[in-house]
Amino acid sequence: MSNFDYAAPTSLAEATALLAGAHGTARVLAGGTDLIVQLREHLRDADLVVNIKKIPELMELSYSSQLGLRLGASVPCYRIYEHAQISVAYPALADAARIVGGWQIQSRASVGGNLCNSSPAADTIPALIALGAQCVIAGPQGLREVPAESFCTAPGRNVLHKGEILATIVFAPPVPFSGSAYERFIPRNEMDIAVAGAGSWVKLSADGTTIEQARIGLAAVAPTPLFAAEASQWLAGKSATDKTFERAGEFARKAASPISDMRGTAEFRRHLAGVLTRRTLAKAVERALG
Amino acid sequence: MSKKVHVTTSVNHEPVEFLCEPRQSLLEVLRDTLRLTGAKEGCNNGNCGACTVIFSGVPVNSCLVLAVEAEGATVETVEGLADHGHLHPIQKCFLEGAALQCGVCTPGFLVAAKALLDHNPDPTEHDIRFGLANNLCRCTGYDKIVKAVQAAARELQSLAK
Amino acid sequence: MSHTDELYLGKTSYQVLGKRPVRHDGADKVTGKAVYAADVQLPNMAHGKIVRSPHAHARIKSIDVSEAVKIPGVFAVVTAADFPNLESRSEVMGEGGPVNLAHMAANCLAMGKVLYKGHPVAAVAAANVHLAEEAAAKIKVEYEVLPSVTWVLDAMKDDAPLLHEDLRTDSMGKKGDRPTNVALHLQFEKGNIAEGFQQADIVVEREFRTASVHQGYIEPHATVALWNEDNRLKIWASTQGAFNCRQQVAQLLQIPVSQCLVVPCEIGGGFGGKIAVYLEPVAALLSRKCGRPVKLVMQRNEVFEATGPTPGSFLRVKLGATKHGKLTAGEAWLAYDCGAFPGGVIAPGCMCVFSCYELPNARVDGFDVLDNKPKTQAYRAPGATQAAFACEQVIDELAEALGIDPLEFRLKNAASEGTRRVDGPVYPRVGLVECLHAAKNSDHWKSPLSGANRGRGIAAGFWFNIGLASSCSGSVHGDGIVTLVEGSTDIGGTRTSIAMQLAETLGIGAADVLPQVGDTDSVGFTFLTGGSRTTFATGLAAYKLGLDLQAQMQERAATIWECEPAAVEVKNGVYSRNGQSLTFKELAGKISELGLDPVVGRASVSPEGSTNAFGVHIADVEVDPETGKVTVLRYTAIQDAGKAVHPSYVEGQMQGGAVQGIGWALNEEYFFDRKDQMRNASFLDYRMPTCLDVPMIETIIVEVPNPSHPFGVRGVGETPIVAPPATIANAIHKATGVRMTVLPISPPALWKALSEKS
Amino acid sequence: MPVVFIPTPLRDITAGTAEVAVEGSTVRAVVDALEQRYPGIKTRLCRGDSLAPGLQVSIDHVMTTRGLRATVRPDSEVHFLPVIGGGKGVRCSGTQPLIE
């Protein structure tokens, strides 16, 4: 690993100033489970590494049924799924947080870091997309918001400019008769990168028979995590039946434009996008019905 | 080359200070600077768990922690598991259950298992397999490791009573 | 009919054997105190880094180290030019078969050409590992990239890129007429296959492919070398055999073996992959150049890209049987790659493919094929697993076609005492039939399996196991404790299994023996830990050491009782003569108290022949038809251990081998891209099973005593990996009706096969 | 007389004969006797005064490490086999070089 300078600011202002004023490349260290590997393997370089885990608002994890969830960008995954109310209110998020690497990884890795690493296969991003999460970005010019589905722009790239930090991920309060789920496919049962992943959120009619609204996010089937807009819109007003989920899966399959690599063939990934969309919709509906 | 950083931390409940370069991992400093070689380097990218330590209360891969991050933190390694010459029940159960062969993954498993049982004193077989899935073993096929953790859970519970 | 002495004592009860004492090195290993090679830190030690080829095949045009050596804190750089000139000479190393010294040197540091991605080109020693890495990056190597090949059948083609332009196919001394990548053609024939197939009512012929897989030990290769001013070379190594390591280093550096001392550190797994040297000679050259101890430790991607693996293979197997289920003939055609240098494991592949069966007529052709992968190394029963994957599926298909239960079919044809293998030799007493009966009577086989997409598979496996040289020595102390120094690297508890055999012989407890693994200066030559030999052969040495110590104790007792040694009776560790008697401990105390000659014993052995271990595995699987993912629901491994010295560690070998085999069956593979670069050289993407991927592995130990060991011990370690891939494939067939003939049976592959079927 | 099983690749020299009975009380003597009957076979089995690298001898179904020095009984069965995994056929001691 090439050497670098290190800073551990205790305020957002200090951090953004450090990043904006840095000579050469400055990198943000949240959980470090991606960054440290990338620096070691020379996939990324850094002249300055800024540890943001000492910044209070980035470690914030606050939930209320009125205000929803504020998830600091550096909050490690384990704190999410261990939080009883969050697991109930945003099950897709908890599903994803529980399978990011193993326990040792979840002790460090954060959802914010997963977003900023911007891998097409990131497990938490489809869940954020499905849940309609907003990304609050802090920079020299102040704060701005970006919807989760617009955050990643290409493999390993995102909307952050020099000096900007992803500060908080904001989730609207859960609405009644809604439910969500995230599932991925991996060859093993743990410690793999998703071959494909799908996150689904649904809001049902009060009688539980009809899907009023739905959002589907997909992983590892496109250059970035994908909001399956067509499938999501098509679902609105459809009856909550296996047939519907199957059909939505076909839309998801169409939305997918995967590649072949050592983790799976394009053909297999496209197929999985359909299967996982169907399965997560069924689970989301089941959860919506409580 | 950026200059070394002074770090004040706690290792196995004792205050420790060291100097390190920012690029040095906690694993590297534990092994090469502090000479605590119990934590092993199996992959150096977080996929084998042989370097597992408990960092401020949670299990982490010490190869994916910068040593400078240890400032103000607490670190528990396999060297801190036995208590004044008395093996921890998990260590005892690993020995009695022949849960190790080559032994190189063992420190990581022991530390991860301790974290698991501290967190969940009465785990199911699935809880144990899920909790230890970040730790690779190539010798045992895991059978005797899982059984040793089950035995340790029983022993710890009876001690607690 | 055999030259092996009938050593079996026929004891029916044992004081120590069969019990489960805590291993002697246990406390060190659960407290982090055990010292592995990477844990060694010496004063003034330099840290090394290897410069490796980014290309699968290229000519080295130039190596410029000038920038690297300028960096302050960089102490030395070495290349192949630093090796002595080694004319082409052959020798046999460990489990790898014959090895050419010049080739072995070129595998440690490339000469002229790089033959696989990750092939070492140069090495640097510096003040710390980060500096060494920076210096390595400054070494400029100019390459002329050449076309490459990594699939065995492509490498056999006439127009394939040649790895060694001068190589001709060898067929037992007869050389081929043109350059080729086919290093070796083996052929074995027995009976008359034409007639044999004519007698068959049914013939099944299938083709199989397997990907390269890695041994996957968790400890990367590591070494520390110190070339001292007195010219003594001391090496701390992670090796399966200190003496074999010493031989290789001495040969490569052309120094007398005794100028080199190898200290075997604790070893974090080997499975056959830590026999050939990679780092040791390079660290030695660096140390000689910079006058400091030098440590070299591989990163995980270096382990994957430049060590191991086991061969990728293509196999065609044809078997014929009568309608009554008797095999009449078999034919096999095997091509195994050996990677960058000749000398793979095709021979055992050929000799094992039909080794479980009584086959009157058979022919086997085998080819050892070069391609642009790391030189293949032994991996637990080298060559046998690929062979069993093919043969055991064809056997299954025959049984199904004939409507005979697969277990019964195997019983009808099982090899037993007197069976002549296709390669010629005849088996002595072996335990396959007993293993099949144990399987038949197992709870697993008898429990019904219900549910959709579920199936149960069974397969058999064989490995030879070996003997060869082992040495040990021992001293009896005043408190009755016996210290044992033996030469076998302890990878999985063999200190204890050897100590137990000494304790059994002396009639004392396992805890009364304190074993340690000696370095190459402190114990007699001992062949490496491999070939499932250690508990058998070094255990035999420990038994003979016990007899030596006992005779001396008897003599001392005679001195005490003023009688002839013969007059002293010894029974279960009690020494007595008319009325008076002393326990081993009491006698030991008296000897030191009276100042009699200390009791110091030694033994060395070199047993010949194989101990022939058979195993039978049963697996229940469930297949997700939508994703092709296979879940192993239940698994049982049955094996003939001869006599299980420490049953826990015998079970451990069976369980570990089974899970390695499950990984081989379902997910593990070297994944190469179009440029023949391995794309999954990490534990993330080279998917070894985690504990969440496997069930408990049930074990049944069968004990058919080995005639060539006093306690009937057979080797155990290797056989357990042979049957699993075939067992899983047979189970998948039962679950889905699909025959998977390519390893790994990964989800995309199985999903594709299932969708093509429907 | 001991019976030698001719390795399949060498049956071109023995005109297809698979088993040959020849005199000899050591493998060396057996090989020399074979050479008498089938000129050229020795160069396929030996290099200089030792077995060819990669070859080993099985006498009465037991691999021997003694190579050409191994003793053969009148009723013995002799096989020439490739060296296989497990390091069979290693001809070495701690102090001498491996190559003969």
Please write the tens of the pLDDT for every residue from C229-268: 999 999 999 999 999 999 999 999 999 999 999 999 999 9
* Contact assignment for B44 to A33 by CB distance below 8 Å: no
Give C758's pLDDT tier (boundaries 50, 70, 90).
confident
CA dihedral (B12, B15, B18, B24) positive or negative: positive
Please write the tens of the pLDDT for every residue from B33-73: 999 999 999 999 999 999 999 999 999 999 999 999 999 99
pLDDT for C96 equals 42
The CATH number of residue D56's host domain is 3.10.20.30
pLDDT for B2 equals 62
Q: Using an 8 Å Cβ cutoff, are C96 and C378 in contact?
A: yes
Average per-residue pLDDT for chain A? 97
* DSSP-assigned letters across all residues of C499-511: HHHHHHHHT--GG
Q: How far is CA A2 from CA B24, B30, B70, C130, in A?
A: 10, 20, 20, 7
- For C602-634, b where at least 16 C-beta lie within 10 A, e where not — what string? bbbbbbbbbbbbbbbbbbbbbbbbbbbbbbbbb
pLDDT for C90 equals 57
* Contact assignment for C659 to B37 by CB distance below 8 Å: no
Q: How far is CA D44 from CA C180, C302, D11, D69, in A?
A: 20, 39, 11, 18
Specify which residues C636 forms β-bridges with: C618, C698
Taking the C-alpha atoms of residue A163 and residue C364, their distance in angstroms, rounded to an integer, is 68
Taking the C-alpha atoms of residue C351 and residue B28, their distance in angstroms, rounded to an integer, is 47
CB contacts of C186 in chain D (<8 Å) are 9, 82
Q: Give me the numbers of helices (H) and strands (E) for chain C, helices first please.
A: 20, 31
- Please report the ipTM that was assigned to this predicted complex: 0.96
Checking if the pLDDT of C135 tops 60, the result is yes
Instruction: Please state whether C148 falls in left (phi above 0), alpha (psi between -120 and 50) or beta.
Output: beta
For D12, name the nearest residue in chain C, comparing CA atoms only.
C174
Taking the C-alpha atoms of residue B147 and residue B100, their distance in angstroms, rounded to an integer, is 12
Task: Supply φ then ψ for residue C407, to 5 degrees.
Answer: -70, -45
One-letter amino acid of C194: A
Does the beta carbon of C658 lie under 8 angstroms from any beta carbon of chain B?
Answer: yes
What dotted CATH number matches C26-34+467-604? 3.30.365.10
Question: Which of D52, D58, D62 lies closest to C173 in CB terms?
Answer: D52
pLDDT for B3 equals 84
Does the beta carbon of C20 lie under 8 angstroms from any beta carbon of chain B?
Answer: yes
pLDDT for D48 equals 86
> Within chain D, which residues score under 70 in pLDDT?
85-100
Checking if the pLDDT of A48 tops 80, the result is yes
Taking the C-alpha atoms of residue A175 and residue A204, their distance in angstroms, rounded to an integer, is 10
* Chain C, window 33-52: residues with a beta carbon less than 8 angstroms from a chain D beta carbon: none
Split into its structural domains, chain D has a count of 1
Mean pLDDT score, C204-220: 98
CB contacts of A3 in chain C (<8 Å) are 130
pLDDT for C128 equals 96
Q: Using an 8 Å Cβ cutoff, are C652 and C492 in contact?
A: yes
Question: In 3D, which of A128, A120, A151 has the Cα closest to residue A258?
Answer: A120
pLDDT for C462 equals 97
CB contacts of A242 in chain C (<8 Å) are none
Checking if the pLDDT of A51 tops 80, the result is yes
pLDDT for C231 equals 96
Checking if the pLDDT of A39 tops 80, the result is yes
The nearest CA of chain A is from the CA of B14 a distance in Å of: 23
Taking the C-alpha atoms of residue A52 and residue A73, their distance in angstroms, rounded to an integer, is 9
Helix axes C242-253, C280-290, angle to 10 degrees: 60
The nearest CA of chain A is from the CA of B157 a distance in Å of: 23
Checking if the pLDDT of C515 tops 70, the result is yes
pLDDT for D100 equals 22
Q: How far is CA C315 from CA A170, C331, C365, C381, in A?
A: 57, 11, 10, 17
* Contact assignment for A1 to B23 by CB distance below 8 Å: yes
pLDDT for C83 equals 96
Checking if the pLDDT of C573 tops 50, the result is yes
Q: Using an 8 Å Cβ cutoff, are B107 and C32 in contact?
A: yes
Both tokens assigned to B81? 């598991």
Checking if the pLDDT of C593 tops 60, the result is yes
Give C594's pLDDT tier (boundaries 50, 70, 90).
very high
pLDDT for D87 equals 34
Mean pLDDT score, C373-394: 97
Taking the C-alpha atoms of residue C418 and residue C428, their distance in angstroms, rounded to an integer, is 6
* Contact assignment for A105 to B134 by CB distance below 8 Å: yes
CB contacts of B116 in chain A (<8 Å) are 103
Residues A5-51, CATH architecture: 2-Layer Sandwich (3.30)
Please write the tens of the pLDDT for every residue from A124-137: 999 999 999 999 99
Q: Using an 8 Å Cβ cutoff, are C374 and C309 in contact?
A: yes
What dotted CATH number matches C149-427? 3.30.365.10
* Contact assignment for A32 to B65 by CB distance below 8 Å: yes
pLDDT for A186 equals 98
Checking if the pLDDT of C44 tops 50, the result is yes
For chain C, what are the domain ranges? 26-34+467-604, 149-427, 431-465+610-758
* Chain C, window 608-637: residues with a beta carbon less than 8 angstroms from a chain D beta carbon: 608-610
The winner for highest mean pLDDT among C88-92, C96-100, C505-509 is C505-509
Q: Where are the alpha helices (DSSP H) in C364-459?
A: 384-402, 406-413, 432-440, 443-446
pLDDT for D94 equals 28
Q: Using an 8 Å Cβ cutoff, are A203 and A277 in contact?
A: no
Mean pLDDT score, C700-708: 95
Mean pLDDT score, C433-452: 98
What residue ranges define each of the domains in chain B, with the CATH number in brackets?
Answer: 5-80 (3.10.20.30), 89-160 (1.10.150.120)
Fold of the CATH domain A56-171: 3.30.465
Taking the C-alpha atoms of residue C431 and residue C450, their distance in angstroms, rounded to an integer, is 31
Residues A178-288, CATH architecture: 2-Layer Sandwich (3.30)
Taking the C-alpha atoms of residue C46 and residue D57, their distance in angstroms, rounded to an integer, is 46
Checking if the pLDDT of C568 tops 80, the result is yes
Please write the tens of the pLDDT for every residue from D47-62: 888 898 889 999 999 9
In this prediction, what percent of chain C has a pLDDT beyond 90? 95
Tally C-beta pairs within 8 A across B and C: 181
Taking the C-alpha atoms of residue C369 and residue C180, their distance in angstroms, rounded to an integer, is 9
Q: Where are the alpha helices (DSSP H) in C403-490?
A: 406-413, 432-440, 443-446
D50 domain residue, yes or no: yes
Class of the CATH domain delimited by C431-465+610-758: alpha beta
Please write the tens of the pLDDT for every residue from C305-320: 999 999 999 999 999 9
pTM to 2 decimal places: 0.97
Q: Where are the alpha helices (DSSP H) in C71-128?
A: 101-108
Find the Cα–Cα–Cα–Cα dihedral C668, C670, C672, C676, rounded to 10°. Answer: 180
* Contact assignment for C32 to B77 by CB distance below 8 Å: yes
Neighbours of chain A (3+ CB pairs under 8 A): B, C
For B48, name the nearest residue in chain A, comparing CA atoms only.
A191
pLDDT for D98 equals 30
Q: Using an 8 Å Cβ cutoff, are C463 and C613 in contact?
A: yes
* Contact assignment for C3 to D7 by CB distance below 8 Å: no
The nearest CA of chain D is from the CA of C395 a distance in Å of: 25
Does the beta carbon of C649 lie under 8 angstroms from any beta carbon of chain D?
Answer: no
The nearest CA of chain A is from the CA of B130 a distance in Å of: 8
Instruction: Please state whether B75 falls in left (phi above 0), alpha (psi between -120 and 50) or beta.
Output: beta
The nearest CA of chain C is from the CA of D67 a distance in Å of: 12
pLDDT for C100 equals 81
Mean pLDDT score, C328-347: 96
Please write the tens of the pLDDT for every residue from C624-639: 999 999 999 999 999 9
For chain A, what are the domain ranges? 5-51, 56-171, 178-288
Which residues contact residue C367 at a Cβ distance below 8 angstroms, ignoring those fewer than 6 apart?
Answer: C156, C182, C184, C185, C186, C334, C335, C336, C346
Give C403's pLDDT tier (boundaries 50, 70, 90).
very high
* Contact assignment for C524 to D7 by CB distance below 8 Å: no
Question: Which of C20, C219, C697 lies closest to B143 in CB terms?
Answer: C697
Taking the C-alpha atoms of residue A144 and residue A84, their distance in angstroms, rounded to an integer, is 30
pLDDT for D49 equals 86
Give A290's pLDDT tier (boundaries 50, 70, 90).
confident
Does the beta carbon of C94 lie under 8 angstroms from any beta carbon of chain D?
Answer: yes
Element (H or E) spanning A142, and its range?
A: strand A142-147
pLDDT for D83 equals 84
Question: Which of C134, C629, C680 lies closest to A262 in CB terms?
Answer: C680
CB contacts of C606 in chain D (<8 Å) are 65
Average per-residue pLDDT for chain C? 96
Decide whether C149-427 matches C431-465+610-758 in CATH topology: yes
Q: Which structural domain, as residue segments, surrounds residue D74?
A: 3-82
D87 domain residue, yes or no: no
Question: In 3D, which of B52, A265, B136 has the Cα closest to residue C663?
Answer: B136
